[in-house]
């Protein structure tokens, strides 16, 4: 069972001609500039293709026909499975989903409101929140637990997710050993190695270095993940004026090359393995070289990235929903909303970072996570658009009401009132008098209350026998 797909694609910042020109320029980069592949595992794979490989410089020049042949081997849709089948989602085409993300180092403490370093317990609580929030479809591990030894981070991050939400778990990985441990743990949870390959409940993220560089460790990890058949995400993070040209078109060229580099390496390692093309492209504050997360240009870049993914017929991992604000304020709301909405309307398959992140993606907020769930609910309603058919045109209801009539008590209203209009869970729609009588709570206070309400009740956990086996057989889980 999978959820009903909501299709975007109505917003197109790129014309057909622009898409073709970006593609053509990207192909020229592969052929005339090349990419630097510092992973021996990945570099060896290119030696069996038509690519020109310079082992001294690690530079690889790849013909466009080879690029496109490898891109065409990648699946056009990737299903991200969940422990609870109702949360299975299919990435591809113009379907739209959203989730957390980031690997932030800090959180805003939900009890005292002060910023502090993130812990493993925060990760568990964020997973529990996401399990209850209906508009967040994927739990991408959003913080780095600073209280866990480095060599144990991978397995503890993924276990915190798997043990606290029944939704799909996606996350970055840091060591080859961690990849092996996490996959072994997931195999225990689903029952067998074969079942995990058939229904992967986890996916892993590796990144290129913009511009045009594959890191030694991340290249090795991408090859290792691809060989297992677990879905791999290959995002790139070009920053306008810093690691890519200051123009959006030039940055899109870098993003296409860097992300396609990951896609083709995955297909060289294991043809047909599920891979997700991705973008974390954004602006740079050229005054102090900060990574900007709340700019409208970030929304434009990632919306255009969705069009490029559709051109290549690849599932797309986009970035939106963050803010550069240090507080849950108006800036936080409008920055998060604009970038999320642009990505969603363009048909970005998975908008990551779309819930909870603030302060240039350095910090997670419990309250913002809940507020973003509301933003995502409204966004998905906008993506769904307006359904026009005999029933929604409501001619019979119009005829029954006649001139000067009303529709408050009509059967048509009762039938469509809940499915046609999004019902917010936090927004205030009371008169000022009622609002004041109920304590004059603002959106932050209401979000804080919902956080506490969710965390105070029992949540999802792995079955006891499964949990016991994992804790017994996988070393290092805390």
Give per-residue pLDDT as tens, 212-248.
999 999 999 999 999 999 999 999 999 999 999 999 9
State the chain's mean pLDDT as an integer.
Answer: 96
Residue 93: strand, helix, or coil: coil
| Residue 459 pLDDT exceeds 70 | yes
Q: What is the mean pLDDT of residues 305-317?
A: 98
| Residue 3 pLDDT exceeds 80 | no
Sign, Cα dihedral of 304, 305, 307, 312: positive
Q: What is the mean pLDDT of residues 10-24?
A: 98
- 178 phi/psi in degrees, rounded to 5: -65, -40
* Structural contact between residues 121 and 107, judged by C-beta atoms closer than 8 angstroms: no
Class of residue 111 by CB neighbours under 10 A (exposed 0-12, middle 13-18, buried 19+):
exposed
| Residue 2 pLDDT exceeds 70 | no
Give per-residue pLDDT as tens, 103-153.
999 999 999 999 999 999 999 999 999 999 999 999 999 999 999 999 999
Q: What is the mean pLDDT of residues 28-35?
A: 98
What is the band of 1 on the pLDDT scale with cuts at 50, 70, 90? very low
In the chain, which segments carry CATH 3.20.20.480?
A: 72-384
CA 234 – CA 204 distance, rounded (Å): 9
| Residue 359 pLDDT exceeds 50 | yes
CA 435 – CA 15 distance, rounded (Å): 47
Residue 338: strand, helix, or coil: helix
Give per-residue pLDDT as tens, 363-421.
999 999 999 999 999 999 999 999 999 999 999 999 999 999 999 999 999 999 989 99
Give per-residue pLDDT as tens, 46-60.
999 999 999 999 999
Q: What is 72-384's CATH number?
A: 3.20.20.480
Between helix 120-132 and helix 443-456 the angle, nearest 10°, is: 100
B/e letters for 423-436, b = 16+ CB within 10 Å, e = fewer, are eeebeeeeeeeeee
Q: Cα torsion for 249, 253, 259, 263, to the nearest 10°?
A: 130
| Residue 307 pLDDT exceeds 90 | yes
CA 223 – CA 221 distance, rounded (Å): 5
* DSSP designation for 116: E
**Which residues, 6 or more positions from 475, have their beta carbon under 8 angstroms from its beta carbon?**
181
| Closest residue by Cα to residue 256 from 16, 23, 9 | 23
pLDDT of residue 130: 98
Give per-residue pLDDT as tens, 151-192.
999 999 999 999 999 999 999 999 999 999 999 999 999 999
Q: Measured over all CA atoms, what is the biggest interatomic distance in the chain, rounded to whole angstroms?
A: 82
Percent residues over pLDDT 70 in the chain:
99
Sign, Cα dihedral of 115, 146, 217, 156: negative
Give per-residue pLDDT as tens, 313-344.
999 999 999 999 999 999 999 999 999 999 99
Q: Which two tokens stand for residue 53?
A: 């490989």
Q: Cα torsion for 336, 337, 342, 344, to the nearest 10°?
A: 100
Q: For 60, how many CA atoms within 13 A lie in the half-sphere containing its CB? A: 30
Sign, Cα dihedral of 136, 138, 139, 142: negative
CA 425 – CA 382 distance, rounded (Å): 17
**Which residues, 6 or more positions from 354, have their beta carbon under 8 angstroms from its beta carbon?**
98, 99, 100, 101, 136, 320, 321, 336, 340, 372, 376
Rounded alpha-carbon distances, angstroms, from residue 327 to 332, 371, 378, 458: 7, 13, 22, 30
- 350 phi/psi in degrees, rounded to 5: -135, 110
Peptide bond into 211 cis (omega under 30): yes
Q: What is the mean pLDDT of residues 416-428?
A: 92
């Amino acid at each position: 069972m999978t959820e009903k797909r909501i299709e975007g694609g109505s917003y197109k910042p790129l014309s057909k001609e622009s898409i073709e020109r970006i593609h053509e320029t990207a192909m020229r980069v592969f052929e005339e500039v090349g990419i630097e592949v510092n992973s021996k595992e990945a570099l060896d794979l290119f030696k069996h293709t038509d690519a020109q490989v310079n082992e001294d410089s690690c530079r690889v020049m790849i013909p466009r026909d080879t690029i496109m042949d490898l891109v065409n081997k990648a699946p056009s849709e990737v299903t991200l499975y969940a422990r609870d089948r109702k949360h299975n989602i299919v990435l591809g085409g113009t379907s739209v989903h959203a989730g957390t993300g980031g690997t932030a180092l800090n959180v805003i403490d939900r009890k005292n409101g002060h910023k502090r370093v993130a812990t493993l317990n925060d990760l568990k609580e964020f997973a529990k929140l996401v399990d209850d929030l209906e508009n967040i479809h994927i739990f991408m591990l959003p913080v780095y637990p600073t209280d866990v030894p480095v060599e144990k981070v991978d397995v503890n991050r993924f276990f915190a997710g798997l043990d606290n939400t029944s939704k799909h778990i996606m996350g970055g990985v840091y060591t080859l050993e961690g990849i092996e441990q996490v996959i072994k743990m997931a195999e225990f949870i689903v029952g067998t190695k074969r079942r995990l390959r058939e229904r992967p409940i986890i996916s892993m993220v590796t990144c290129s270095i913009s511009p045009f560089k594959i890191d030694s460790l991340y290249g090795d990890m991408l090859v290792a993940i691809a060989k297992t058949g677990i879905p791999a995400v290959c995002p790139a993070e070009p920053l306008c004026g810093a690691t890519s040209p200051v123009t959006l078109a030039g940055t899109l060229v870098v993003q296409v090359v860097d992300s396609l580099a990951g896609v083709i390496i995955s297909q060289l390692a294991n043809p047909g393995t599920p891979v997700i093309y991705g973008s974390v492209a954004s602006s740079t504050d050229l005054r102090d070289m900060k990574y900007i997360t709340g700019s409208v240009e970030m929304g434009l870049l990632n919306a255009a990235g969705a069009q490029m993914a559709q051109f290549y017929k690849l599932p797309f991992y986009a970035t939106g929903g963050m803010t550069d604000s240090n507080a849950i304020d108006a800036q936080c709301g409008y920055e998060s909303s604009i970038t999320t909405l642009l990505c969603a309307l363009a048909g970005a398959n998975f908008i990551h970072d779309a819930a909870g992140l603030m302060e240039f993606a350095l910090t997670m907020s419990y309250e913002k996570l809940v507020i973003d769930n509301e933003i995502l609910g409204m966004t998905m309603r906008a993506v769904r658009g307006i359904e026009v058919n005999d029933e929604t045109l409501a001619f019979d209801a119009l005829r029954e009401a006649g001139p000067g009539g009303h529709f408050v008590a009509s059967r048509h209203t009762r039938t469509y009132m809940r499915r046609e209009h999004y019902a917010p869970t936090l927004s205030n729609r009371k008169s000022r008098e009622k609002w004041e009588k109920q304590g004059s709570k603002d959106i932050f206070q209401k979000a804080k209350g919902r956080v506490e309400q969710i965390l105070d009740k029992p949540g999802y956990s792995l079955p006891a026998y499964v949990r016991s086996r994992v804790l017994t057989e996988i070393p290092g889980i805390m």
